[in-house]
């Protein structure tokens, strides 16, 4: 093998690792279809070499080709005291009879020389050294040193190299598909010509990494939030599509890489880095047309809104003889919303939209009235008359009536503790009221709010009804 000025191994390895794919050999090839030129091919047959009886010497006559490759003609040759091993045109890469050859693009003429082995010569060693990330790996048993004669055409150990290294941060895994001698890079299928000295070949190690797709710390996901795959550094891979994750009310529009911070499009092709990488989903709110359908021949109202925005429920633009408008019923949660109520758009189930249907009830709308509650308070007045003979005490009782008036907006069904929301705490307040009215008695408004079981009066069944509502076993309280 020709000796050359060697660049540092680290430089060769770094250059090889930076390659985006493993496709093709790292050898120059002839020009492409545009601007093809002819290359002259010459096979020099030694004068003292004898061709085998089945060898067609006409195939070894000088010829030309405008292709980027050729095949070495098949033929057997002998020479006294030597063994025919193959051909080479540069003294580095060897070819057997019939083998495919990539031709150098800048050559006008390629001359193939015969490689002869002298069995009496001492063999030399091919040593394999595994290096990466400042570490040197012990050779696996199947990557032992090999010995070849000078000028022998040989194939480097073609077993895929796979090694692991325990570090403080865990186990690092590597795989190799290429070799370098410090000057050039070869695939494991490349045959080399053994020089008249020992050589060292370095398997180029590519790190095995973990590629993870993460939906992000978000809500309303349908299905799993994370998937992981093992990939190889330097390989090209098409990212997952926008259907990798499903999230109600949002569309997946990209992937943010933990390696470089860039955002890539779904299905975009990227090069795997030399470290574990996580691609986190980038979400875009869905734009909806929220539909309010009054029915009865009325005009459908459509309000544009994005996921997580709030809209105000409109008034229907029609009236219906003999009926009154009782609200809008949601196709999503089944609740009935009144004119002016706010509705937060949480997104539609995939394949469905967001719509409301008007609820019409027979008769005129009930009049809005106030609710009056009365309570009786007893006041005791004590007067004392003192005389020299005796002391008399006269006690009289006066009764006063207090009237409390609440408009409908004050009343929140289920809000027994009057904190403007309905929760298990309201159930507890009712049970405490029942157990010890003097200490934990509900307010007058709390008595009205807490009476939700459909029967008049505060009972333990009201507390149970509120618990069912909080657990979403029921979605509305029974009508009185």
Rounded Cα gap, residues 198 and 168, in angstroms: 36
* Mean pLDDT within 396-404: 40
pTM of full prediction above 0.85:
no
- Predicted confidence at residue 271, as pLDDT, reads 96
- Predicted confidence at residue 409, as pLDDT, reads 65
Q: Where in the chain is the domain with CATH 1.10.1330.10?
A: 371-470
Is a pLDDT exceeding 60 seen at residue 405? no
Is a pLDDT exceeding 90 seen at residue 393? no
Is a pLDDT exceeding 70 seen at residue 404? no
- Predicted confidence at residue 89, as pLDDT, reads 97
pLDDT band at 164 (very low <50, low <70, confident <90, very high): confident
* Mean pLDDT within 342-368: 87
* Mean pLDDT within 298-313: 96
pLDDT band at 480 (very low <50, low <70, confident <90, very high): low
Is a pLDDT exceeding 80 seen at residue 374? no
**To which residue do tokens 């860039």 refer?**
262
Is a pLDDT exceeding 70 seen at residue 368? no
* Mean pLDDT within 403-418: 75
DSSP string, 368-410: P--EEEEEEEEEEEEEEEE-SS-EEEEEEEEEEEEEEEE-GGG
The CATH code of the domain at 371-470 is: 1.10.1330.10
* Assigned architecture for domain 289-361: Sandwich (2.60)
Is a pLDDT exceeding 60 seen at residue 268? yes
Beta strands in 341-370 (DSSP E): 342-344, 355-362
Maximum Cα interatomic distance, the chain, rounded to a whole number of Å? 163
**119-149 pLDDT tens trace:** 999 999 999 999 998 888 877 777 889 999 9
- Predicted confidence at residue 34, as pLDDT, reads 57
Contact 76, 54 (CB under 8 A): yes
**386 vs 87, which has greater pLDDT?**
87
Rounded Cα gap, residues 299 and 288, in angstroms: 18
In sequence order, which residues have a C-beta less than 8 Å from that of residue 91 and are 6 or more positions away?
Answer: 1, 2, 113, 193
Rounded Cα gap, residues 185 and 27, in angstroms: 8
Of 170-184, 215-229, 357-371, 402-416, the range with the highest mean pLDDT is 215-229
* Mean pLDDT within 286-309: 95
Least confident range of 85-89, 167-171, 207-211, 430-434: 167-171
* Mean pLDDT within 385-394: 35
- Predicted confidence at residue 15, as pLDDT, reads 45
Contact 86, 95 (CB under 8 A): yes
pLDDT band at 171 (very low <50, low <70, confident <90, very high): confident
- Predicted confidence at residue 305, as pLDDT, reads 96
Least confident range of 63-77, 331-345, 419-433: 419-433
Residue 281's Cα: distance from chain center in Å?
6
In sequence order, which residues have a C-beta less than 8 Å from that of residue 366 and are 6 or more positions away?
Answer: none
- Predicted confidence at residue 140, as pLDDT, reads 72
**421-440 pLDDT tens trace:** 999 888 888 888 887 777 78
Handedness of CA 315, 317, 320, 321 (dihedral sign): positive
Contact 464, 426 (CB under 8 A): no
Q: What is the average pLDDT value for the chain, to the nearest integer?
A: 84
Residue 44, beta-bridge partner list: 113
- Predicted confidence at residue 399, as pLDDT, reads 38
Nearest Cα residue to 29 out of 89, 104, 139, 141: 104
In sequence order, which residues have a C-beta less than 8 Å from that of residue 397 and are 6 or more positions away?
Answer: 378, 379, 380, 381
- Predicted confidence at residue 74, as pLDDT, reads 94
pLDDT band at 3 (very low <50, low <70, confident <90, very high): very low
């Amino acid at each position: 093998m020709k000796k050359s000025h060697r660049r540092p191994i680290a430089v060769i390895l770094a250059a090889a690792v930076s390659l985006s794919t493993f496709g093709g050999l790292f050898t120059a090839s002839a020009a492409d279809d545009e601007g093809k030129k002819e290359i002259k091919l010459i096979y020099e047959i030694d004068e003292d070499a004898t061709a085998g009886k089945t060898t067609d010497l006409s195939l070894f006559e000088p010829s030309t080709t405008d292709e980027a490759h050729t095949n070495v003609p098949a033929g057997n040759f002998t020479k006294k005291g030597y063994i025919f091993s193959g051909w080479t045109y540069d003294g580095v890469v060897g070819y057997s009879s019939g083998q495919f050859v990539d031709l150098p693009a800048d050559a006008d003429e390629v001359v193939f020389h015969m490689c002869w082995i002298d069995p009496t010569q001492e063999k030399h060693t091919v040593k394999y050294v595994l290096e990466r990330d400042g570490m040197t790996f012990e050779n696996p048993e199947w990557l032992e040193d090999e010995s070849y004669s000078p000028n022998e055409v040989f194939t480097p150990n073609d077993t895929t190299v796979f090694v692991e290294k325990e570090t403080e941060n865990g186990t690092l895994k590597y795989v190799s598909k290429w070799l370098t001698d410090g000057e050039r890079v070869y695939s494991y299928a490349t045959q080399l010509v053994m020089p008249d000295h020992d050589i060292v070949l370095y398997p180029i190690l590519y790190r095995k990494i973990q590629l993870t797709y993460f939906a992000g710390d978000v809500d309303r996901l349908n299905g799993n939030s994370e998937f992981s795959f093992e990939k190889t550094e330097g390989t090209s891979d098409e990212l997952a599509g926008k259907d990798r994750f499903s999230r109600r009310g949002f569309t997946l529009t990209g992937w943010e890489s933990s390696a470089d911070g860039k955002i890539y499009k779904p299905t975009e092709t990227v090069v795997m880095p030399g470290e574990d990488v996580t691609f986190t989903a980038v979400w875009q709110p869905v734009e909806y047309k929220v539909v309010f359908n009054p029915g009865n021949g009325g005009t459908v109202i459509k309000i544009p809104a994005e996921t997580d925005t709030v809209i105000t429920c409109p008034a229907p633009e029609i009236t219906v003889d003999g009926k009154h408008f009782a609200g809008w019923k949601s196709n999503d949660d089944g609740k009935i919303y009144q004119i002016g109520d706010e509705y937060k758009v949480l997104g539609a189930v995939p394949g469905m939209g967001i719509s409301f249907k008007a609820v019409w009830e027979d008769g005129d709308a009930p009049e809005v009235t106030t609710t009056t509650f009365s309570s009786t308070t007893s006041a005791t007045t004590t007067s004392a008359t003192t005389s020299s003979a005796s002391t008399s005490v006269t006690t009289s009782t006066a009764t006063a009536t207090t009237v409390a008036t609440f408009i409908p907006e004050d009343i929140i069904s289920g809000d027994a503790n009057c904190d403007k929301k309905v929760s298990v705490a309201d159930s507890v307040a009712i049970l405490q009221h029942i157990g010890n009215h003097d200490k934990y008695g509900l307010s007058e408004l709390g008595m009205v709010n807490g009476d939700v079981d459909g029967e008049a009066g505060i009972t333990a069944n009201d507390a149970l009804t509120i618990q069912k509502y909080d657990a979403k076993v029921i979605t509305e309280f029974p009508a009185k």
